[in-house]
């Protein structure tokens, strides 16, 4: 409304100046007409025309009117979002973003009547009006750093912002913010699968998922099983790698360091530094297996040996000296092609 007010004020000032100028001209003409003229001389008067100066106020008024109408058309929809804390939210500065596009701005922050929550007034652009429905979700995005990577990098560069995910349902103007980012988008091509494990181990949200040592996804969330006998780990595979997950895929934990020391020598395995600190998962897939589908469930094995990838064979040896379960390799022409899993 600032530019509109400017042009409206300019129109008023120009109108006043035009009126003053016209009054001065009329007074001057009246003074001139009061001077006696010779009876023998004819008086010639020019026909009065509207001065172009009068166009300026009308132009300013037209511009002001157009700006006011444009501002009215683009006025935002004010909604209220309840947060548990206002840390990182600044009125007039904190934006609301959807898919990286700014769709609103925080206007005001106040305490609720019971002083238990923070009410944040947000102005959402008019073209997002249809997205303000019952299942629409809002959450605060802040940068978080760990050895597994940096999440919320855009917030680190441009400051905290409120994320928005449109939903379905009836129109609504009052929402409750989520504590964390929603689980995932159903329409962006990523693949959500679930892993069953006895316990979480050293895994956490953000732990990477590897396929042949290439990160292709991450642990998104986790929860205790409904029967409370284990955990369910939600894994999100990136869209470009979803074809790597098959119905027959096997997943195993590669967190920490796998070290085996025996008479035959010492063997140390480390997937990556991020896996050592933040935990990680690896998997392999048979080529002939069918592609996995969203929400498929797999088991998470303790390690590669227990995942039982490959063919299980039994060998009869004259003795077991120097053999170590889950450590002794099976070699073929200088290459490790298997591992001893158990012996009796």
Single residue among 41, 73, 105 that ends a domain in this structure: 73
Q: What is the pLDDT of residues 141-161, one digit of tens each?
A: 887 655 555 555 555 566 789
Same domain, 197 and 305: yes
Neighbour order of strands in the sheet with 137-141: 137-141, 161-165, 95-98, 101-111, 118-124, 77-83, 174-176
* Closest to 299 in 3D by CA, of 312, 315, 283, 314: 283
Same domain, 107 and 200: no
Nearest-angstrom CA–CA distance, 9 and 28: 29
Same domain, 286 and 198: yes
* Closest to 197 in 3D by CA, of 297, 295, 341: 297
Q: Specify the pLDDT at position 338.
A: 73
If one compares 170 and 40, the residue with the highest pLDDT of the two is 170
Q: What is the pLDDT of residues 39-83, one digit of tens each?
A: 555 555 555 555 565 566 667 667 767 766 666 555 678 999 999
Q: What is the pLDDT of residues 117-127, one digit of tens each?
A: 999 999 998 88
183 in a structural domain: no
126 in a structural domain: yes
Single residue among 113, 146, 176 that ends a domain in this structure: 176
Same domain, 253 and 288: yes
Same domain, 120 and 230: no
Q: What is the pLDDT of residues 293-302, one digit of tens each?
A: 999 999 998 8
Same domain, 69 and 145: no
**Scanning the structure block, which residue is given the tokens 């409120």?**
162
Same domain, 210 and 304: yes
Q: Specify the pLDDT at position 139.
A: 93
**Number of domains present in the structure of the chain:** 3
Q: Specify the pLDDT at position 339.
A: 73
Query: pLDDT class for 237, splitting at 50, 70, 90?
Result: very high
- CA dihedral for 79, 81, 82, 86, sign (positive or negative): negative
* Closest to 344 in 3D by CA, of 326, 312, 320, 313: 320
With H, G, I as helix, E, B as strand and everything else as coil, classify residue 76: coil
Q: Specify the pLDDT at position 124.
A: 92
The answer to whether the beta carbons of residues 244 and 287 sit under 8 Å apart is: no
Q: Specify the pLDDT at position 40.
A: 54
337 in a structural domain: no
Percent of the chain with pLDDT over 70: 64
259 in a structural domain: yes
Strand-pair partners of 265: 262
245 in a structural domain: yes
Q: Specify the pLDDT at position 157.
A: 60
Nearest-angstrom CA–CA distance, 323 and 316: 13
Q: Compute the 3-state secondary structure of the chain and give helix, strand, coil in percent, each to the nearest 5.
A: 25, 35, 40
Q: What is the pLDDT of residues 247-300, one digit of tens each?
A: 999 999 887 555 555 555 555 555 555 555 578 899 999 888 899 999 999 999
336 in a structural domain: no
φ/ψ of residue 58, rounded to 5:
-65, -40
Domain assignment of residue 257, given as a range: 191-311
- Report DSSP state, residue 47: P
* Closest to 269 in 3D by CA, of 285, 253, 251: 253
Same domain, 121 and 226: no
Q: Specify the pLDDT at position 325.
A: 74
The answer to whether the beta carbons of residues 331 and 337 sit under 8 Å apart is: yes
8 in a structural domain: yes
* Residue 265: exposure state from Cβ atoms within 10 A (0-12, 13-18, ≥19): exposed
Most distant pair of Cα atoms in the chain: their distance: 151
Same domain, 165 and 81: yes
CA angle 336, 307, 292 (to 5 degrees): 115
The answer to whether the beta carbons of residues 264 and 254 sit under 8 Å apart is: no
Same domain, 96 and 122: yes
Same domain, 96 and 136: yes
The token pair that represents 241 in the structure block: 């790698």
Same domain, 164 and 248: no
């Amino acid at each position: 409304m600032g530019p509109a007010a400017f042009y409206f004020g300019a129109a008023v000032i120009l109108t006043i100046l035009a009126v003053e100028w016209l009054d001065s001209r009329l007074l001057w003409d009246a003074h001139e007409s009061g001077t006696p003229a010779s009876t023998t001389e004819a008086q010639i008067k020019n026909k009065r025309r509207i001065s172009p100066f009068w166009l300026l106020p009308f132009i300013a008024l037209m511009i002001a009117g157009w700006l006011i109408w444009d501002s009215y058309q683009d006025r935002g929809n004010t909604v209220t979002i309840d947060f548990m804390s206002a840390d990182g939210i600044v009125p007039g500065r904190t934006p609301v973003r959807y898919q990286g596009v700014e769709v609103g701005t925080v206007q005001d922050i106040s305490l609720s009547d019971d002083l238990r929550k923070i009410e944040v007034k947000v102005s959402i652009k008019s073209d997002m009006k249809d997205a303000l429905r019952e299942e629409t979700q809002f959450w605060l995005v802040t940068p978080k750093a760990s050895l597994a990577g940096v999440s919320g990098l855009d917030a680190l560069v441009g400051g905290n912002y409120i994320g928005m995910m449109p939903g379905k349902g009836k129109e609504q103007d009052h929402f409750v913010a989520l504590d964390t980012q929603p689980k995932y988008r159903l329409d962006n091509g990523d693949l959500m699968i679930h892993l069953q494990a006895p316990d979480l181990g050293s895994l956490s949200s953000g732990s990477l998922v590897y396929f042949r040592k290439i990160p292709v996804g991450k642990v998104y969330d986790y929860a205790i099983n409904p029967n409370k006998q284990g955990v369910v780990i939600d894994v999100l595979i990136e869209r470009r790698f979803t074809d790597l997950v098959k119905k027959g895929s096997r997943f195993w934990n590669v967190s920490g360091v796998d070290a085996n020391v025996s008479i035959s020598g010492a063997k140390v395995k480390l997937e990556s530094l991020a896996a050592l600190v933040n935990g990680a998962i690896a998997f392999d897939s048979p080529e002939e297996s069918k592609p996995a589908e969203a929400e498929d469930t797999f088991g998470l094995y303790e390690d590669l040996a227990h995942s039982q990838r490959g063919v299980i064979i039994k060998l009869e040896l004259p003795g077991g000296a120097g053999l170590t379960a889950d450590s002794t390799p099976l070699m073929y022409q200088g290459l490790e092609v298997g591992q001893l899993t158990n012996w009796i």
